[in-house]
Every structure is written in C-alpha cells, then in structure tokens.
Amino acid sequence: MFTPAQAGVPYKEHILSNQTKSQEVYLEPSDNKRLAALCGPFDDNIKQIERRLGVEISHRENCFRATGNLAAAHAAIEVLKNLYIETQLVNGKSQEIDADLVHLTLAQSHYLDQDDEDPQFAQDVTIKTRRGVVKPRNPNQMQYVANILNHDICFGIGPAGTGKTYLAVAAAVDALERQEIRRILLTRPAVEAGEKLGFLPGDLTQKIDPYLRPLYDALFEMLGFEKVERLIEKNVIEVAPLAYMRGRTLNDAFIILDESQNTTVEQMKMFLTRIGFNSKAVITGDITQVDLPRGARSGLRHAIDVLSNVNDISFNFFQAKDVVRHPIVARIVEAYESFEEQERKQRAEKQAQREAAQHD
C-alpha cells in the first residue's frame, strides 16, 4: 500500500506483526553523490540511525527499507528523508552529512522522547516454570513473549542484556512442562568473539560448552542443575553446534538459535529449513556485534531483508533502553554508542580532508 509522503518521496509499508513493520522509501531524485553523502563512509550514518532507533536498514540504490517497531521504522524513514533533503547539491557538490547532523535530525524526530507504553500490550504476559514466574519487564519484552507464543518463528534482535535469550529459554521450558513439545534444542554458531581459542580438548560436548554457556545458565536457573542434567542425558534437552543441524528435520521441538548475527547466509537458510511439524523456533542476535570474517554477510541481516513479507514470522527489535541487567549495563551500551559516533565523525573529517587534498 502506497501512502503520501513528505517532499514527494513515496514509501511502502509491510506489516510483519502487531508491533513490527517494514517500510520502504524511494529517495528522489536519485543521485549517487547524494546517496553516498547520506550513508556516510562505510555506511556510518545508517549504522548510527540503526543503533539509536533499534531498527535494521537495508538499501539498494535509492530504495531504503527500515524494519523494526512500527513507530521506530516510521521515524527512521522520516530521518532518512530529512537527511536526504540536506544533501541537496550546491554548485554541483553534495553536502556532507556528519554524525552531529544525524544526531540532531534524530532528536528532531522526537521518537526517542516518546513513552513506549502501548495499551494494547499493557496486560500481563507471563511464563510459568517450576522455579517461578518469569514476567517481562517492559513493553518490548511483552511484545516479544506474545510473538513467541503466537508465531512459529520469532526473531529477537537487539543489544546484550535485553532478555532475548532468557525469555526464549523460559518460553521453551514452559512449553516442555506443559507437554506442548517433546524436546528443546539449543544451538549457536561456534564463532570466537574477536579472539582465537585454538584447539579445545575433550569430546564434542566439552568443546562447544563454552559457546553455549549462556543457554545453560538460563536452563539451570529455571529447572535446576540436576533436572537439566537428567533431561540432557535423555536427549529431551539437546545442545548442538549449528553445523550439526544440516540434514535434520526437527518435529515437536522448541529450537533456539542464539548469537545468530554470526551465522552466514547459507547457515541461516539451512537452520530455518530444519523446522518440522509442531515446532517453534526463536532466533536471537545483535546485528551490531558481528564476529564473522571481514566481508562475510551476516545471515541475520540477510534474513531480515528476505523474510520481511513472510506470514507467521515475527521480528522484535530491542534498544539500549530495554536492557534489564544491572542499570550500569544500559549506560555502558549508551557510552559505547556515543564513543563510536565520535569516532565516525573523526573518520568522516579525515576522509573529507583527504578528498580536499586530492582536489588541490
């Protein structure tokens, strides 16, 4: 459905779930110099908008798509349109878009000042386990849990500490105890986070345990250590590296793929096609912390683009303000974002100086 847009720039909406929406905008007139100025060096301006609004932005030529919370996706489109207006050519040269201008335009959108409370999801959404009741702590978590319960495939995307993995494990334990499923399968790509661990001794389980420790921790908290050990021995709870999923069909299972930003496009496609009858899958990840080799495309980013129009798949985007760990964690996330913005600004200034020197 096309709707009127400001400045004569049309956009198209794709409904992904009750709260999640994908919007496309065609920035006219299409001009490669202006588009390059809008994106910034290495797409730094786009990444800044993604982090601040909690959305995923993809683009091809003059077509930009923002995917996330419906209000955030709309705000991202408006920010992109306003910034593109700022790139208008002066004497044949496009105006530069720096981090400060992006920050100012984001502030003018007033989205970051809005109250997240949505009456549609104000009712309690809880998950019951043997160790107690797990209750979402903010509207985004409520929406996330509701989507897990109501969709066969659910994506949880956002920074660390927003409860993506913990709530997914809680939902899996709840489904197992209510006998809606017969097993829980936990998987994660075995990718080192910025360091080489070398050879790891032991059998397969001992080798992959360090990568899956966050999932174990959540299980131990909800079921107890001895119960988890018994269920693992009976293969009711199965822990496996993503590479071992190929060729399997997973029926009557609750499958959690953690750290999915470190999957390749091929791995993500392989995982999503393993899902069988009466199964549910939750895919969690943080698109700002990809540990894949340089040049490799994240399967999570690719899946957001490819699956945005597929029914029965939900996308949930979390932001720094959704962090529910120690309060300092949210401040740490925000501090890193601020520091990275300054670094991008410095890189853009150096790039502009180099280009000016070349013209001289």
What CATH number has the domain bearing residue 277? 3.40.50.300
Tell me whether residue 119 is in a domain: no
**275 token code pair:** 């899902």
Range of the domain at 162: 125-325
Average pLDDT for 24-34: 89
Tell me which H or E stretch contains 339.
helix 327-359
- Residues 198 and 319 placed together within one structural domain of the fold: yes
Tell me whether residue 120 is in a domain: no
- Residues 265 and 302 placed together within one structural domain of the fold: yes
Tell me whether residue 82 is in a domain: yes
Residue linked to tokens 């001794």:
201
Q: Is the pLDDT of residue 186 over 60?
A: yes
- Residues 167 and 308 placed together within one structural domain of the fold: yes
- Residues 261 and 348 placed together within one structural domain of the fold: no
- Residues 178 and 268 placed together within one structural domain of the fold: yes
- Residues 143 and 49 placed together within one structural domain of the fold: no
Residue 77 C-beta-side C-alpha neighbours within 13 Å: 27
Angle of the 70-86 helix axis to the 99-109 helix axis, nearest 10 = 130
pLDDT band of 204, cuts 50, 70, 90: low
pTM above 0.85, yes or no: no
- Residues 284 and 141 placed together within one structural domain of the fold: yes
Tell me whether residue 51 is in a domain: yes
State the burial class of residue 29 (Cβ atoms within 10 Å of its Cβ: 0-12, 13-18, 19+).
exposed
Q: Which residue has the higher pLDDT, 9 or 330?
A: 330
Here the CATH number for the domain that contains residue 108 is 3.30.1370.10
Q: End-to-end CA distance of the chain, in Å? A: 49
- Residues 279 and 349 placed together within one structural domain of the fold: no
Q: Name beta bridge partners: 280.
A: 254
Tell me whether residue 234 is in a domain: yes
pLDDT band of 327, cuts 50, 70, 90: low
Q: Is the pLDDT of residue 40 over 70?
A: yes
- Residues 239 and 278 placed together within one structural domain of the fold: yes
- Residues 314 and 291 placed together within one structural domain of the fold: yes
Tell me whether residue 330 is in a domain: no
- Residues 171 and 299 placed together within one structural domain of the fold: yes
Q: Which residue has the higher pLDDT, 166 or 203?
A: 166
- Residues 152 and 248 placed together within one structural domain of the fold: yes
Q: What is the pLDDT of residue 4?
A: 33
